[in-house]
Amino acid sequence: MMSCSREDPNSRPTSQAPAEEEALGWEVSRDREVATIEKIACDRCRQRKTKCDRAKPCKQCVKTGVQCSYKSGHKAKEKRQRVLISSVYERRLEHISNKIDELGAIIGRLSDEHQGIPTRVRVQSPSSLQASSFVAQHQPLTQVEGIESNLFAHVTFATEALQTVLRSDPYFNEAAELTSALETLCTRVSIQKQQNEAMEASRPFPNVLPHGRTFKDLPIPSLGRIMACLRIAQESSPSQLYWPFEFGSLGDFTQYVIKACSPGPITDMELIIVHYVLYWLFTQCSIGAEDEAMKQDYETQAGICQGSLETILSNIPFHIDTNVDSIRALYMATTHCLHHGKPLAAWTFISRASLMCQALGFHSSHSLATERPDVVQHKMRLFWVVYVLEKAVALRLGRPSTIRDQDITVARLALDRKMASLAYNWLPDWIDVAALYGRLYDDLYCPKALAQPYSIRAARTVALASEFERMITARSEYYNQPNQWSSHMMNPSMSGFIVHANRAIEYSTLASIYRGFPSERSSSLSPCPQCITAARISLKETTACIAILLDRPTWPLSLDLWVNEVLLLASFMPFLILICNIIEAKDGLDLDPLRQLIDSLRLLAQYPRYSGCNRQLRIFEALYNVVSMYIEAKARTRPEEPIGAHFTHPDTETDPNDTIWLDPISLTGSSFPAQLSDGHPGTNILPLQSPMLNDLNTEIDPSTFQLESWIQQTY
């Protein structure tokens, strides 16, 4: 460290030192004065004890005309120059530079907030990136409070129907508690509707790209951590770590990583591939890690990749090149959005990928005739994964598919043991189920289908439901013995959750199919017996999912949003179907399973990880309170008529006039329906041939008009 002495207070610098020298200290200007100003007074002034200006000669000696001399042996201090900067100063300069970057990011964020732009991204210095992302990853995840409008339309319909029934009942005006419960329901529905509109009007992710930054400047894990995970993926067997075939080969992905981690150009689509696959890869490594510190580090790196990925998806340009990389990147973006409760954004991405596939001729055997066999196989795989995902998202949003099945001429892709996976729902019947999803909208719920006569709509519903029932029965075999068709094994808790979740969603879909069946009763609120039975099974499977989660499995935090989304889809439609049945039949038989579901959701929502369950829980509680109070009131006012006397429960007996019904299904003591008399597991539908269908009037009755109005509002 350079030594410093105090300057003469009367001395003044003649010129201002440069800014760079001022940053290093006031020693620089002091060094410039050493050559002409001595450190001590001259010999005569010291002897006479007079003030000396320490010049050579000094003013006192010049004035008196004597020789001015200084102490012998004293040499003027040589000017020193800084040739090298010590490591201490290097660290200080780096710290100052990082602070300047952070201050710039803060100023930019404050400017965005002042303009009303939501933001969650901050530019972090390399030294603080790892620690800050670790803290953010272990905080409770922010859940989406909105519910997509096509699902919430069912809530609106059920609420309006409930209001109509209650206000037409003479007892309603005398029951203050029932009136208060109905007002609470209407208030919650109104508030939730506002939240839904705000969610759908906002960006899919709130991440904002800082001004002056590019996508390549976004954080990414260190190359050493990335290569370590890639080595794990390379050395692991499919039973230990499943590499999805839609990602391409591991070697191809490594080339993307090299471009992302080295200087040079890289496209936005390639960056989406890199961040998504790394996010998935670090999550998979955290699942298999036994050391807690290593598990947390993997989750931290997954959080870094997730933040960068969502920043790109929120700021991606409108114009995208049509090529294989874009299709794969858009497919990955769709999967990420679905796992995080963004179905509208998912549809934007997957519909674009679907159109790109068709523009490049991936669906046409004629277009692929001149390609090499390995290229043809690669493009066919990519087309069919896009096809399956596009059909599922289209059905969820109640929209027509962008892919016409009659235009497809390439062979269907058969999954081998290495490609199939229960975790990713790549089951042997994956394309058949997706094709059925596409026909559900075209045959049942599109405007043209709704305008068809009663007999045609009923026949279509029966045919589609029967076909889907056979698929569910076949899938029971896959769930019971996954090792026979897949080499990808999982831990028991996650495998059990996925099986129950799949079955819950399958029976929820089946209930939705039967909900389109025109009712024989005068009111469109009453579902058919098959619809009620499917809804009950779906709720039981959902309750089984929640029971697994309440055991607090050690899953990565990155899976929490996906779990919350699964529980929303699995329980929403079945719950509302049973609510409508209770209103119409005035039968409280289904109140107990509804109560059990609400209690399970309430217990689960206490954990911050699963706070997203509050979305449906608030609505479910309000609906249940109104319906249960209404049933209790009817029981008190009409004690001579037992509740349910006029309603035939499809699980106990059937109406002799009904020839279309489901056999009893018992889930007691097993995760799956008990074996039926024919020896096959699962449901068993009697031949759906009824003389009633041949005698139907081709004109639509008033109840069908009400059902059509409900479907049009929903879809």
Residues 221 and 268 in one domain: yes
Q: pLDDT value at position 672?
A: 32
421 φ, ψ to 5°?
A: -160, 130
Residues 151 and 223 in one domain: no
pTM of the model: 0.70
Asked whether residue 193 is assigned to any structural domain, the reply reads: yes
Helix axes 560-585 and 591-605, enclosed angle (nearest 10): 160
Residue listed under structure tokens 């300057």: 7
Asked whether residue 249 is assigned to any structural domain, the reply reads: yes
Asked which of 282, 314, 346 is the last residue of a domain, the reply is: 314
The answer to whether 303 touches 137, Cβ cutoff 8 Å, is yes
Residues 302 and 220 in one domain: yes
Asked whether residue 625 is assigned to any structural domain, the reply reads: no
Give bridge partners of residue 662 from the DSSP assignment. Answer: 685
**Residue 102: band (very low, low, confident or very high) from pLDDT cuts 50, 70, 90:** low
Asked whether residue 269 is assigned to any structural domain, the reply reads: yes
Asked whether residue 293 is assigned to any structural domain, the reply reads: yes
Residue 376 pLDDT greater than 90, yes or no: yes
pLDDT tens for 616-653 read 899 999 999 999 988 888 777 655 444 333 333 333 33
Residue 115 pLDDT greater than 80, yes or no: no
pLDDT tens for 650-686 read 333 333 333 333 332 332 233 333 332 333 333 333 2
Mean pLDDT of all residues in 51-66: 86
Asked whether residue 606 is assigned to any structural domain, the reply reads: no
Asked whether residue 416 is assigned to any structural domain, the reply reads: no
Asked which of 314, 346, 363 is the last residue of a domain, the reply is: 314
Q: Which structural domain range is residue 166 located in? A: 147-205
Tell how many helices (H) and how many strands (E) occur in the chain: 25, 0
Answer left, alpha or beta for residue 382, where phi above 0 means left and psi between -120 and 50 means alpha: alpha
Q: Cα dist. 570→501, 618, 682 in Å?
A: 7, 16, 19
Residue listed under structure tokens 């519903």: 461
Residues 234 and 159 in one domain: no
Split into its structural domains, the chain has a count of 2
* Residue 363 structure tokens: 């669906």
The answer to whether 485 touches 420, Cβ cutoff 8 Å, is yes
Residues 220 and 301 in one domain: yes
Give the Cα separation of 441 and 438 in Å (integer): 6
Give bridge partners of residue 426 from the DSSP assignment. Answer: 421
pLDDT tens for 9-20 read 444 444 444 444
Asked which of 291, 314, 337 is the last residue of a domain, the reply is: 314
Asked whether residue 273 is assigned to any structural domain, the reply reads: yes
Give the Cα separation of 165 and 130 in Å (integer): 58
Residue length, the chain? 715
Q: pLDDT value at position 518?
A: 62
